[in-house]
Amino acid sequence: MPPQTPLLTVDVIIRVGSRDRVVLIRRRNPPPGWALPGGFVEVGETVESAAVREAQEETSLQVKLAGQFHVYSDPARDSRGHTVSVVFLGDACGDPRGADDAAEAAVFSLDRLPEPLAFDHDRILADYRNLLNGNRP
What are the residue boundaries of the structural domains of the chain, listed by start?
7-132
CATH-assigned architecture of domain 7-132: Alpha-Beta Complex (3.90)
What number is the average pLDDT over the span 31-59? 98
Is pTM beyond 0.85? Reply is yes
Residue by residue, what is the 3-state secondary structure of the chain?
A: CCCCCCEEEEEEEEEECCCCEEEEEEECCCCCCEECCEEECCCCCCHHHHHHHHHHHHHCCCCEEEEEEEEECCCCCCCCCCEEEEEEEEEECCCCCCCCCEEEEEEEECCCCCCCECCCHHHHHHHHHHHHCCCCC
Active site residue 115: no
Q: Give 102-134 pLDDT, tens digit per residue.
A: 999 999 999 999 999 999 999 999 999 999 999
Q: Out of 45, 48, 57, 104, pick the active-site residue.
A: 104
